[in-house]
Structure 1
Amino acid sequence: MTSADIAAADTSRVFHSWSAQGSLAPLAIAGGEGSTVWDHDGKRYLDFSSQLVFTNLGHQHPKVVAGIVEQVQQLATIAPAHANEARAKAAELILDRAPEGFDKVFLTNGGADANENAIRMARLVTGRDKVISRYRSYHGNTGAAIVATGDWRRVPNEFARGHVHVFGPYLYRSEFWATTPEEESARALHHLERVIQAEGPQSVAAILLETIPGTAGVLMPPPGYLAGVREIADRYGVILILDEVMAGFARTGEWFALDAFDVRPDLITFAKGVNSGYVPVGGVIISEPISAAFDERVFPGGLTYSGHPLAAASIVANLTAMAEEGVVEHARQIGTDVLGPGLEALADKHDVIGEVRGTGVFWAVELVADRGSREPLAAADMGRLKGDLTQAGLLPFIADNRLHVVPPAVVTADEVAQGLEIIDGALSRL
């Protein structure tokens, strides 16, 4: 079958997420290796989207594939109530990379239900109900997670209770009339604290934040912001949950994005990069006081496939390979020496680039119709750009008026140069 045959068969039978079903034109991907995928007609693409920002170790890494194969031959599945060697080892490796003071991992099927269960833990431990999260955020597409989300997808799905949103720091489009990162940080913290006070601190269970908001634009925290959030949470007895679903496990050039900031949360949620998306999995890393709260109290939550052996084996293989191959350090170096400077050079060349933000292999290029007014580039132009990049052999991640540049953490300097050349050409044509 050709790529067109497979795409037609897919769209005639498969209901796609976040889409109007009548206008779909999906690529039919036949295979992949490292930072490259190819379709059924043999056309190759540099994957600068990491799919949905999850193939951190690249496509078809032999060690992860072998780990899954070995596990499926030994024990393909087992209920979560049983002990399992792969599950125990996966939790050990995750905790080894977490900050001090964390002692348990609750494994889920993805990032959304990781955030669901972190919210549940915070509510049960505090006896409070409200969860404060940010506009310009994404936390998943399940009941509480989608309502905690701060973009348009929340609005038709607001069925969960007790959610309050605040504006976070975003100096390029400041809500606080700030002119420096320090002003933006201080004013965003003041706004957060005033919202807690106005809502009633005794009613607030948790603050849920992406350490670095990803889908919202790779919004780097300004100096002092995350440490300030920690101080506010402590002041009012609020649980701090950091969502590392997209930013964790080498994406930012750290094991966790929070490692680069002066902050230790109470709960950490993860998914995506923990096993590079090879098998659906996510989880909550739980600090000692919160895990101890359920020593004699039943935790009222669970999943049929929690800690599935194939998912656990893929975590073990993925994290082991990352450590053995220096993938975290490589991602940091690529960001510092190659990808960051390359994107800044494009900004110097193209007036359509308003701002470049990022770290490691986690970058966003904000595109504007006018640099002076910062008017976002029109949706039609973004659609043209996406089509042009794909036609030129690069899979992009497009969100609103931004081109997110998020290749696998194993991307080479030569592949980055090739990708930037494709982006340069598409921006010139745009």
Structure 2
Amino acid sequence: MVMDSQEMIELCKQHTMYTWSAGDQVDPIPVERAEGVYFYTPEGKRFLDFNSQLMSVNIGHGHPRVIEAMHRQLQQVAYVYPGTATAVRARVARTLAELVPGDINTFFFTLGGADANENAIKAARAYTGRFKILSRYRSYHGATNACMQLTGDPRRLANEPGAPGFIKVMDPRPYDFAFGESDEEQTARNLQYLEEVIMYEGPETIAAMFVETVTGTNGVQPPPKGYLKGLKALLEKYGILLVCDEVMCGFGRTGKMFAFEHYGVVPDIVTMAKGLTSSYAPLGAMGVSDAIAEHFKSNMFWGGLTYNSHCLALSAAEASIAVMRDEKLVENAARLESVMREEMAHLKERHRSFKEGRALGLFGMVDLQKNSDGERMAPYNGSHPAMVKLGKFFRDNGLFTFVRWGSFMCNPPLCISEEQLREGFAIIDRGLEITDAAFEG
């Protein structure tokens, strides 16, 4: 059945619900096909995918090797129950054991990042015999029941009250507060503060601390120097596990296969999804250290789901990882970081509404300001008419990315070329005239 854009939109709005939205306010982009770093409407309008959809199509759209691998798997076996052993399950688990640094060699497969984190909560509690979980306010860990309470960002609020036992702490770089000017000050003061929270909560009650290795949706904030090493040492002092959520920042996004490789640490548990299959199929995973894996050899792991180790999803992961390796996409992300930073510096020179730009690999975000005091263009969990206009400008001019509060994201597929990356920033350059006009002086 061939549909034009209008029919596609009307039927989707009539018969489906959209995430994080009131249905009457949704204005979806109709998509017919996608290839590489672009996707297209039924009428042929082209969008540069400057956000890899949900920061997840890391190898780009429509890669023939992934499609062919999934087709082969469908011809063999698409699904068997989780208690079986399959060749694709064995191969992908072995590949991940080779890819993930340190002693993380055992994996539990899920359907996405949220259920990977849900199962990490269960594993941490079962392994330590403790109940409380620490996480940070500028975090997002998923939309399931427990993960909403694990999450710090405002989407948590409408889902309260939730499960007990979740303790929030300030990030080393909070939203509108500073632990210090230098990285060293931020690290030292935040860890001092965190140790006091641990004292108040009772270290013997805390199972784990979850962190996005690089904060994603809530700022694309790499940790200050020394933070992750200091955090790991502090948690080890009290027998608390470190869980790194690499759902968004993993699989090459930061110019390393896993973001924690930048910081010289290995967590006790790592969670992943998104780039694991580049979203060609739903798949997540929890990876655990050898010590935790050994515990669950003789102790029940009370977690399960119908689609655990789904063959078709695993075939997509296997092919996506192979493409990433063979086409050197992680290296491309690392190489293009300097180009993204250069383009952000150019924007700062030209636009008074530009506050700050950050990039690690091809993981980037730009913050905008409305006055020379550096006040954000939109407040925390708020909006501003100029940001609405900017989002519309991006869309009208064929640039797809997320505009959130007073910021917007720069997270293209890792296969993007330098020319295509500059094409995106040229659109942004023109668009920032809108926010410059809203600058109050």
TM over 0.5: yes
Aligned 8 A contact 2:353 2:370 in 1: yes
* Equivalent-residue separation in structure 2 for 1:172 and 1:201 (angstroms): 27
Q: Deviation per CA, 1:135-186: give whole Å up to 9, x if none.
A: 011000011111010111111213111000001122773343x122221111
Which position in structure 1 is the counterpart of 2:92? 90
SS of the residue 2:186 aligns to? helix
Where structure 2 has 5 or more consecutive residues not aligned to the other structure, the ranges are 436-441
Q: Normalising to structure 2: TM-score of the pair?
A: 0.95
Aligned 8 A contact 2:355 2:374 in 1: no
Matched, 1:379 2:378: no
Matched, 1:424 2:429: yes
Which position in structure 1 is the counterpart of 2:198? 196
Aligned 8 A contact 1:174 1:184 in 2: no
Which position in structure 1 is the counterpart of 2:439? none
Q: Which amino acid aligns with 1:168?
A: D
* Equivalent-residue separation in structure 2 for 1:268 and 1:282 (angstroms): 11
- 1:5-404 alignment to 2 at 5 Å? 5-158=7-160, 159-170=162-173, 173-176=176-179, 178-336=180-338, 338-377=339-378, 378-404=383-409
* Equivalent-residue separation in structure 2 for 1:279 and 1:15 (angstroms): 20
Aligned 8 A contact 2:367 2:376 in 1: no
Q: Which amino acid aligns with 1:315?
A: A
Q: Deviation per CA, 1:222-252: give whole Å up to 9, x if none.
A: 0110111101110000011000000000111
SS of the residue 1:335 aligns to? helix
Q: Which amino acid aligns with 1:400?
A: W
* Equivalent-residue separation in structure 2 for 1:350 and 1:144 (angstroms): 42
The size of the alignment, in residue pairs, is: 428
Q: Deviation per CA, 1:87-137: give whole Å up to 9, x if none.
A: 111111112111121120100010000001011111001111000000011
Shift of the alpha carbon at 1:380?
Answer: 2.2
Q: Deviation per CA, 1:327-375: give whole Å up to 9, x if none.
A: 1001110112x11211121112111111111211100101111242423
Q: Which amino acid aligns with 2:358?
A: R
Aligned 8 A contact 1:167 1:175 in 2: no
SS of the residue 1:421 aligns to? helix
Q: Which amino acid aligns with 1:325?
A: E
* Equivalent-residue separation in structure 2 for 1:90 and 1:379 (angstroms): 45
Q: Which amino acid aligns with 2:394?
A: L
| C-alpha RMSD of the superposition | 1.1
Aligned 8 A contact 1:171 1:180 in 2: no
* Equivalent-residue separation in structure 2 for 1:368 and 1:81 (angstroms): 54
* Equivalent-residue separation in structure 1 for 2:234 and 2:266 (angstroms): 13
SS of the residue 2:266 aligns to? coil
Q: Which amino acid aligns with 2:319?
A: A
Q: Which amino acid aligns with 1:82?
A: T
Where structure 1 has 5 or more consecutive residues not aligned to the other structure, the ranges are none
